[in-house]
Amino acid sequence: RTNYSLTSTLKAKLAATAAAADKCIEDATEQARNIQEKAIKAVALGELQAGRISEFIHLLKQMSHGCTSNGFCVTDDSSNAITDSNVDNIDCTTLTPLLAPQSLDYAAAKFTNTGFADMTTGDAKDAGAGRKCIFLHKTSAGSASASDLFQSTGPHSLAGGLSVAAHDSNIQATITALNSIADGGRISQATQPYYQLYNAVAGLKETPKHSCGLDEAGAIEGLINDNSVATQLAAMIKTAKPDLPDGEDAKQAEAILTAIAAKDNNRGKNIRDKILNTKIENVKKGNRVETVISEISSTADRRTGYLLENKKKNSAGRIAQAADGYKTKERKSGHPQNTRNRRNLQNKRDRSRVQRWLKMGQRRTK
């Protein structure tokens, strides 16, 4: 192989990688469209439930007095009453849900195929709560009373996650279990808000994700390892040589990749390094200068270089040359290699004819 043929092959490989990158971006864009609706629904339902919990806690804190023995509805970890004079004053992490945006966590401790893992059942009230919170008070189980907040004992579902049975002494306030609400990652009858939230998050989780890489080097290596480049390379070979037998384009693409990689281990990294060490034209101070790709720091300058390189020589032509074995065949003398040589030879022949005619004219004159 000559240096020329190897460089040409690398540039052909660069063109195939660029084509694979374009395809990856198209696929990622399409996936983004598909996931957008599901993401919006999951986030909206999540914010709705967070708002319901937050408002409920606000209400209980506003109803509390702040003493340690009576007249309160919410306590902290030390059983001390909590009260607020300002609705916006949410400063107790043990009582207030975390509302700051966070990435979805599908870890087993959070989200499973059966439900929200850490939402297990439990008693929400303090021992001996009795009549301390009027919010849970119901004097008579048999009839309505204007002095009671609840007009029936219940149970009542509050904020979608708390089951309350009101009474004057035997109060029940139980956290609703949400860890076993699904079967195989889906709730068939999503009649409750948290069920709808679960299905929305599960649907988002199941949506195929598509990544082209976090940076240029990672994208190149990833596209090589997942055979995207091989597919594009084979397509280019087929375009340049449409008469190839079925499957031959893929074989030639594989041969090119194997030749460039040179090593069996870590093909993606080996080819990536060679691509980034390939020289392309770069514009510096108005002049075109061949520069190693890895030395071009600006992404915009690299793109300009790629465009110049593709314009300078047809990519399909490079692919065809590489697929033919990367050899520069020497031609016999008398058979010019290009149009310029043919033109020069024709000019020489024309001059010879003119000279012969001049000599013949001189002889006749004499």
Pick the range with the lowest mean pLDDT from 82-86, 130-134, 277-281.
82-86
The strand ranges marked E within 153-218 are 156-158, 162-165, 172-175
Q: Mean pLDDT, to the nearest integer, of 50-66?
A: 75
Mean pLDDT of the chain: 71
Residues of the chain with pLDDT > 90: what percent? 2
Rounded Cα distance between 63 and 68, Å, is 14
Residues 319, 344 within the same domain = no
Residues 268, 350 within the same domain = no
Q: Say if residue 228's pLDDT is above 60.
A: yes
DSSP state at residue 229: H
What per-residue confidence (pLDDT) applies to 256? 82
**Model confidence over 300-311: pLDDT tens digits?**
777 777 666 666
Q: Decide if 23 contacts 222 (C-beta within 8 A).
A: no
- Residue 85 carries which side chain, given as an amino acid letter? S
* Domain count of the fold of the chain: 3
Residues 225, 162 within the same domain = no
What per-residue confidence (pLDDT) applies to 183? 92
Domain annotation covers residue 229: yes
Indicate the pLDDT class of residue 78, thresholds 50, 70 and 90: low
Domain annotation covers residue 313: yes
Q: Which of 81, 58, 56 is nearest to 133 (CA)?
A: 81
What per-residue confidence (pLDDT) applies to 70? 63
Residues 251, 150 within the same domain = no
Residues 254, 293 within the same domain = yes
pTM over 0.85: no
Q: What are phi and psi of 244, to 5 degrees?
A: -65, 145
Rounded Cα distance between 122 and 161, Å, is 11
Residues 130, 220 within the same domain = no
What per-residue confidence (pLDDT) applies to 2? 36
Question: When comparing pLDDT for 293 and 7, which is higher?
Answer: 293
Question: When comparing pLDDT for 326 and 251, which is higher?
Answer: 251
**Model confidence over 146-202: pLDDT tens digits?**
777 788 878 888 887 788 887 766 777 888 888 899 999 899 888 888 899 999 988
Domain annotation covers residue 76: no
Q: Say if residue 214's pLDDT is above 80.
A: no
Domain end residue (candidates: 154, 176, 198): 176
Indicate the pLDDT class of residue 331, thresholds 50, 70 and 90: very low
CA distances from 83 to 56, 79, 86, 323 (A): 13, 13, 9, 78
Sequence-ordered alpha helix ranges (H) in the chain: 3-63, 193-206, 216-225, 228-240, 248-261, 267-276, 299-312, 315-323, 339-365
Domain annotation covers residue 69: no
Residues 224, 171 within the same domain = no
Distance of CA 223 to the CA centre of its chain: 14
What per-residue confidence (pLDDT) applies to 314? 52
What per-residue confidence (pLDDT) applies to 226? 82
What per-residue confidence (pLDDT) applies to 334? 45
Measured over the CA atoms of residue 189, residue 174, residue 159 and residue 167, the dihedral's sign is positive
Residues 283, 255 within the same domain = yes
Domain annotation covers residue 67: no
Pick the range with the lowest mean pLDDT from 117-121, 190-194, 230-234, 277-281.
277-281
What per-residue confidence (pLDDT) applies to 336? 44
Strands 122-123 and 156-158: unpaired
Question: When comparing pLDDT for 329 and 218, which is higher?
Answer: 218
Domain annotation covers residue 73: no
Rounded Cα distance between 306 and 318, Å, is 14
Domain annotation covers residue 195: no
What per-residue confidence (pLDDT) applies to 199? 92
Residues 220, 261 within the same domain = yes
Domain annotation covers residue 273: yes
Residues 319, 352 within the same domain = no
Enclosing domain of residue 273 = 3-25+212-323
Residues 300, 361 within the same domain = no
What per-residue confidence (pLDDT) applies to 324? 60
Q: Mean pLDDT, to the nearest integer, of 26-45?
A: 79
What per-residue confidence (pLDDT) applies to 187? 92
Residues 294, 364 within the same domain = no
Q: Say if residue 248's pLDDT is above 80.
A: yes
**Model confidence over 337-355: pLDDT tens digits?**
445 555 555 555 555 654 5
Q: Mean pLDDT, to the nearest integer, of 208-216?
A: 68
Indicate the pLDDT class of residue 129, thresholds 50, 70 and 90: low
Q: Decide if 107 contacts 89 (C-beta within 8 A).
A: no
Residues 6+ apart with CB under 8 A from 285: none
